[in-house]
Amino acid sequence: MSPALVGEKWWKNSIIYQIYPASFKDSNGDGIGDIPGILSSLDYITSLGVDVIWLCPMYDSPQIDMGYDVADYENVYAPYGTIQDMETLIDECHKRGLRIILDLVVNHTSDQHKWFQESRSSKTSPKRDWYIWKPAKYDANGNRQPPNNWRSVFGGSAWEWDEKTEEYYLHLFCVEQPDVNWENAETRKAVYESAMEFWLQKGVDGFRVDTVNMYSKHPDYANAPILDPKSDTQPAFSLFCNGPRIHEYLSEMNNVLSKYDAMTVGELPNTHTLEGVLRYVSAAEKQLSMVFQFDLVDLGQGKDYKYLTTLPGWTLRDLKAAVKSTQDIINGTDAWTTVFMENHDQGRSVSRFGSDKTPELRVRSAKMLAMMQSTLSGTQFIYQGQEIGMVNAPKEWTIDEYKDIDSINYYQMTSKVTNNDPVELEKAMTSLQHLARDHSRLPMQWNAEANAGFSSSSAKPWMRPHDNYPEINVKLQEKDNSSVLSFWKQMNALRKQYADLMVFGLFEILDEPNQSVFTYTKKSQDYTLFVALNFSDKAQKFEKLDTAQSDWKLLASNIEDPQEELQAFEGRVYLV
Ligand code: GLC
Ligand code: CA
């Protein structure tokens, strides 16, 4: 276990490794990752120097949104394994001193969940009110219209007409993910029991809480302002995020969690003010241990549609501001923060923020990003494959290789709206090649054997393995001291050793206007950590910037023999 600072919660100084079950390790050759596969990799995971694993949804689900559509919280998706496999996994983690957290998806269920099946069965069903049902509206011509103009996060109306009972139900995500009605106290109680306590009693150590700010909707369900006049649906985040009762619900939820001393990390999109974030994570508020704030991963994404953007769409100054906003959460407050650049909803960080143009720059920039992540304050999250510097799927891959509903919806919408205009479709593909959620869902690259060692050679993995697995894989990198993997292990160890600077230190940017180099310090009472990162593919001047001390010790570097200038994507971490 991580050596927590005296008086600090264990999760502050933890490094958490995120696992996407479908793509991690397939033990039985059906092409789908599974829990026995994770079990067989626990020694690898501990070798990274991490303290906790976070498992993306492994619950029973029709998998319309890769398990974020849960049909039964108290069961496991059969291709992943059984409840017993999960019990073994929890045990085996604990035996190794690893903790384990699960994904808690309770803003919505699958339409296959028995609660929704009952709810949709009739208007008088005792569970009718467990979901959000509204009558139709009619326009001047008498045509049926949804209750309002809200756009679903995955595109299209957020309302679905139910023929049988002649009402609309709300789904902020896909049609098959109806939103649960949190206004109903009985429903909330059922959620706590089935989705949380069932697993807490089995010994899980906490949850990553999906879409944590969407449970309370604006009560009058007003139309969203028209930002996209060409469309009949509008982005409505301000009307369904951070609603009036959200903090009441989270306090109530915390009463359950605190009985088990469980940690929580909430997914907090569309919340960009410090004040707004603090209401979720200030210790005095007793809501969540920490949140994922989206400033950094949103960089370069379109406002109306994530993929409707001009690449890269961000500058280094934007990145610095985004990092600062995550670091400010703990500056002089009683709150806690997180550090992450990847998860199962993002393109790979090397492809987005580093360079995958040549093998040399790929390796160097992956290490530079590891240096940045490892020296920022907060609980650290590493996404599977990030530790070996996996990159986005190749540009040559067509839409047929993309499996995510979000990607497919966007491509289909573009093709419909533009009447198959090849130029627009090409633009959509360019954007998807950069930002699609699919990239992080490619099979984990274990070795140079068939199927990247993810699955047996005769299997057909559910997603095509990246063509570059013979060069980028765990087995090769384990043997190589200069690999990205070895570097991450080194940085993880340094983070433990210098926790008061790296995990808890006070962050300050020294070169805010510089669009090529990111220089910052982290301070504890006695020491300063000085970090300089060249985010450009050209050599840049290295400046010690107003740090008067003379005693400089190089703690980490990603090139062999650092010279005066910073090489392309070079990074340095000094103790001064
Ligand atoms: C979160 C998950 C994402 C999922 C969505 C709906 O954003 O991370 O994968 O599609 O919630 O549950
Ligand atoms: Ca399998």
From the candidates 34, 179, 267, 298, which is the catalytic residue? Answer: 267
**Ligand 1: which of 210, 240, 268, 381 to mutate, most ligand atoms within 8 Å of CB?**
210
From the candidates 34, 60, 210, 406, which is the catalytic residue? Answer: 210
Clarify whether 261 is annotated catalytic: no
Clarify whether 467 is annotated catalytic: no
Ligand closest in space to the Cα of 26: 2
Taking only the tens place, the pLDDT of each residue in 471-529 is 999 999 999 999 999 999 999 999 999 999 999 999 999 999 999 999 999 999 989 99
The CATH T-level fold of domain 114-170 is: Oligo-1,6-glucosidase; domain 2 (3.90.400)
CATH number corresponding to 505-575: 2.60.40.1180
Q: Indicate the helix (H) or strand (E) that contains 95.
A: helix 83-95
Taking only the tens place, the pLDDT of each residue in 137-185 is 999 999 999 999 999 999 999 999 999 999 999 999 999 999 999 999 9
Give yes or no for a contact between 438 and 23, defined as CB atoms under 8 angstroms apart. Answer: no
Q: Does residue 387's CB lie within 6 angstroms of at least one atom of ligand 1?
A: no
**What class, spelled out in words, does domain 15-109+185-393+437-486 have in CATH?**
alpha beta
**Ligand 1: which of 103, 173, 270 to mutate, most ligand atoms within 8 Å of CB?**
173
| The 263-268 sheet, strands edge to edge | 290-293, 263-268, 206-209, 99-104, 52-55, 15-19, 379-383, 338-339
pLDDT of residue 547: 65
pTM of the model: 0.97
Q: Does residue 404's CB lie within 6 angstroms of at least one atom of ligand 1?
A: no
Q: Does residue 176's CB lie within 6 angstroms of at least one atom of ligand 1?
A: no
pLDDT of residue 563: 93
Residue with CA at minimum distance from ligand 1 atom 6: 68
Residue with CA at minimum distance from ligand 1 atom 4: 68
Which residue type does 38 have?
I
| 120 contacts: CB under 8 Å, gap ≥ 6 | 111, 131, 162, 164, 165, 169
User: φ, ψ for residue 485 (rounded to 5)?
Assistant: -60, -50
Q: Does residue 105's CB lie within 6 angstroms of at least one atom of ligand 1?
A: yes
Q: Could you tell me which residues are beta bridge partners of residue 72?
A: 60
Domain with CATH 3.90.400.10 in the chain: 114-170
**Ligand 1: which of 18, 61, 65 to mutate, most ligand atoms within 8 Å of CB?**
65
pLDDT of residue 1: 36
Residue from 108, 45, 28, 113 nearest 74 by CA: 113
Alpha carbon of 462 to ligand 2 centroid (Å): 10
Residue with the two structure tokens 């998998």: 63
Q: Which residues of the chain have pLDDT under 50?
A: 1-4
Q: Does residue 65's CB lie within 6 angstroms of at least one atom of ligand 1?
A: yes
Domain with CATH 3.20.20.80 in the chain: 15-109+185-393+437-486
Residue with CA at minimum distance from ligand 1 atom 9: 345
Residue with the two structure tokens 């940690």: 263
Domain with CATH 2.60.40.1180 in the chain: 505-575
pLDDT of residue 550: 75
Residue from 66, 99, 76, 80 nearest 36 by CA: 80
Mean pLDDT rounded to a whole number for the chain:
96
